Amino acid sequence: MTQNAGLNPLDVETYNVHYDDCSTAWVFCRHKASPDPLINMVDLFGRLPVKTRQYVRHMIALPDPNGGHAYNWNGNIAIFNRIDGDLTVFIHESGHSLDLLGVYADKPLSASTNWLNNYNQDTNVPDPYAQTNQVENVAQNTVVDSFNLNVPGNFGGVEPGLQKIFHQYATVQTE
C-alpha cells in the first residue's frame, strides 16, 4: 500500500495496538509524514465493535498532497491525510471488510441476488457516494446501521427519508 502510494516503506512506523475487549493485537502502520497522529487512528478504530474490527487486517496512515481519502484492500485499510475524527470513514471502510471478506451469508453481500432484489425495492440510496456502485452502497448502509444502533432517535430521527432505503438498510442489518 505504501509503495502503491509512491512512498518509501522504510518511512513507515509499525505498532501493535491492543484493546481491552480483545486479546489479539492489530498492526497499525503510520508513515512519518502522515499529518494524522497515531492516537487518532487508534481511538477511532477502537470505537468500532470488536466483531467488526476482527474483519480488518491492518490499518495504515499515509500522507497525500492531493487531499484526504481512504480505501480498503483485502481487509487492509489505508487512511490518507487527516480524517479529523470522522468515525464514519472507519465504519465505511470496515463495511467493505464485512461485505467482501465474508461476514454475510451472501458472500459478498454487494453482489448477491438478495442484496440486488432488496436494492431494487427502494427508491434511494443513503447518499450520493452510495450511487457509485453496490460495494460502496453496502458500505454506506453499514454507516447507517451503525448510526441507527448507537444514536438515540436512530437514523430516522435525522433522516425522514429512511423508508426510501429501508430494504437495503434492513438487509445489512439482518444478514
pTM: 0.91
pLDDT band at 102 (very low <50, low <70, confident <90, very high): confident
Q: How far apart are CA 40 and CA 138, in angstroms?
A: 25
Instruction: Tell me which DSSP letter residue 24 carries.
Output: E
Where residue 109 falls among pLDDT bands split at 50, 70, 90? Answer: very high
For residue 76, the model assigns a pLDDT of 95
Helix (H, G, I), strand (E, B) or coil at 69: strand
Q: 113 in helix, strand or coil?
A: helix
Question: In whole angstroms, what is the distance from residue 47 CA to residue 149 CA?
Answer: 13
For the ranges 18-22, 80-84, 86-90, 99-103, the lowest mean pLDDT is seen at 80-84
Closest CA to 59 of 36, 27, 89: 27
